[in-house]
């Protein structure tokens, strides 16, 4: 199953959700958010799926929301944000409700909602060159996608506040030390390492 914004495929019991707007580093627009909810709920409910993988096509995993979309719709932005945030949260809830493990396989930029999606997964693997940032404070918005819930539970309250308020960029080794990711591998090995990690997760 493919759309203009993401791909959804199942092989050997693993459902792979691939964010697919590489021209904008997979920034979330309205279509992608709505489609993300659909496929997260499909993966949650499909009894043939024994593990779920989240990944991104192109140079990044997910570089946050599509700020250009917001700027182009300023008059109706409050209603738009309310609607789209609700759809994103339904996708996150579906991942958390899924009775199967969720693995985030990330590379490039992981910003804003990208961190939220990463934090919602059960396990995470990152390419060594990956850069992370919450980014919300830089555009004067509050975190969405559940990051304000997940991050304190993963990294501790004070570190979570630091990451959210200062929006500093940090590397994959720091993410590993914080517990945001479980493994860091060379970029060329990310796909193979992801396959190795999902093999035991999808076993009967």
**pLDDT tens digits for range 51-109:** 999 999 999 999 987 566 665 555 565 665 666 778 999 999 999 999 999 999 999 99
pLDDT at 199 over 90: no
pLDDT value for 146: 87
Which of 3.30.230.10, 3.90.226.10, 3.40.710.10, 3.40.50.2000 is the CATH number of 6-199? 3.90.226.10
- Cα–Cα nearest to 111, from 168, 73, 162, 43: 168
Each domain of the chain, given as residue ranges in start order, spans 6-199
- pTM score, whole prediction: 0.90
Confirm if 92 and 117 have CB atoms less than 8 A apart.
Answer: yes
- Cα–Cα nearest to 49, from 37, 41, 61: 41
pLDDT value for 144: 73
């Amino acid at each position: 199953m493919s759309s203009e914004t993401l791909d959804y495929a199942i092989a050997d019991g693993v459902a792979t959700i691939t964010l697919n707007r590489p021209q904008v580093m997979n920034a979330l627009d309205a279509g992608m958010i709505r489609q993300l909810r659909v496929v997260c709920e499909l993966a949650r409910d499909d009894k043939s799926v024994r593990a779920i993988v989240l990944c991104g096509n192109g140079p990044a995993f997910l570089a946050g929301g599509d700020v250009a979309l917001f700027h182009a719709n300023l008059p109706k932005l409050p209603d738009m944000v309310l609607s789209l945030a609700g759809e994103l949260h339904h996708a996150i809830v579906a991942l958390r409700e899924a009775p199967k493990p969720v693995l985030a396989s990330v590379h490039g930029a992981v910003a804003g909602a990208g961190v939220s999606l990463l934090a919602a997964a059960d396990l995470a693997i990152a390419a060594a060159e990956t850069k992370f940032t919450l980014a919300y404070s830089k555009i004067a918005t509050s975190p969405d996608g559940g990051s304000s819930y997940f991050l304190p539970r993963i990294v501790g309250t004070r570190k979570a506040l630091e990451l959210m308020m200062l929006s500093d960029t940090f590397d994959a080794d720091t993410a590993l030390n914080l517990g945001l990711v479980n493994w860091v591998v060379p970029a060329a090995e990310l796909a193979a390492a992801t396959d190795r990690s999902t093999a035991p997760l999808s076993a009967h």
